[in-house]
Amino acid sequence: MTMQDTTRQEAATRTLAQGRAAGELELKRTEFDLAVQLGHIRVTAGASGGPPRVAQEEIARLRAAEGFPDALREHVRTVGTVEGAELLSISPARFTRLARTGHVTPIRFYLNRYRAVVWLYLCEELVGFARAHPALLTGRTPPALRSLLEEGEDRRARNWRGRRLGMLLRATGDPWERAAAIASVLDAVTVAEVVTDPYERSRLRVLRPELVPARPESPAAHAVVERLLLADHPDEILWHRVNLSQALREARESCPAPRPSARTGQVAQAPQAVPRGGHSLRKRRGPYGRGLLRRLRLRRAGAVG
């Protein structure tokens, strides 16, 4: 065994897999994952590109903290609308109005048996909001908020996407992974408009992170989740387009996307125009969508020709 192998083995023995670390910290796996995303638990990169692990020193630090394990659990405790309203001593309807106007931001969601979206909120944040904005918890809803609600405003999905994307960006310093994270909240047509090179799109598709841990198997439920994952407001789409363009420039400067080797004479198959989770260009209505599809086909033919 080489010195490098010995060092790697010793490092592995000083860290724990995430499942075992969750047990050591007396957390459910969902609680552990959320604690990692929020930065309450520090993880280290796994060996040879494997899943992140938790150092034994980190486990010891958290177990030695005052109030363990209840204090750690409280950091990741979530509630739905009814429990959140009870926590703030307001009606569920008022809580929903505050959430729809963006005053409280969901941390997670799930679908119930009726395929309805159930948003979850951090208890700590709700308590902090109540302390900072007591006037919004009593009396009549301010006219500006009433106007938004009458127009059908609902920022819950938009704010959740922004929050989840922020977590993904903080979790990596790799320029291509950061660009892929931004692209994950944009539909395929928008990504193709920003990322015109098919090999760069292929790179982003390979590195595309999952915004949710698992997709439902039911087609109807899967469609509901897919709608929540993609930006749907013009301002939101524009914001992510600009950020993707900037992230793509930084990624190109750090390392160009892999391309076929001219020396070997092998030509790789051109990447698909539609990333996983995107919308088919064939479904894009109007002459603009058809023209974009035609240009992508011509560009792909040139890439493999």
Average pLDDT, whole number, for the chain? Answer: 85
Assign 178 to helix, strand or coil: helix
* 7-23 pLDDT, tens digit each: 445 444 589 999 999 99
pLDDT digit string (tens) for 165-222? 999 999 999 999 999 999 999 999 999 999 999 999 999 999 999 999 877 778 999 9
Say whether the peptide bond before residue 69 is cis (omega within 30 degrees of 0): yes
Least confident window among 27-31, 283-287, 292-296:
283-287
Q: Which parts of 215-258 fold into alpha helices (H)?
A: 219-229, 234-254
What is the C-alpha separation between 209 and 279, in angstroms, rounded? 17
Is residue 33 a contact partner of residue 51, using CB atoms and an 8 Å limit? no
Q: Which of the two residues, 23 and 290, has the higher pLDDT score? A: 23
The pTM for the full model equals: 0.79
Cα 78 to Cα 120: distance, rounded to the nearest angstrom: 6
Strand bridging mode 54-55 / 15-16: antiparallel
Please report the pLDDT score of residue 13 as a whole number.
Answer: 59
Q: Which of 196, 211, 195 is nearest to 277 (CA)?
A: 211
Using alpha carbons, list the distances in angstroms from residue 180 to 48, 52, 194. 21, 19, 12
The proportion of the chain whose per-residue pLDDT surpasses 90, expressed as a percent, equals: 73
Give the model confidence (pLDDT) of 64-94 as tens digits.
999 999 999 999 999 999 999 999 999 999 9
Per-residue pLDDT reduced to its tens digit, 223-246: 999 999 999 999 999 999 999 999
| Region at 296 (left for phi over 0; alpha for psi -120 to 50; beta for the rest) | alpha
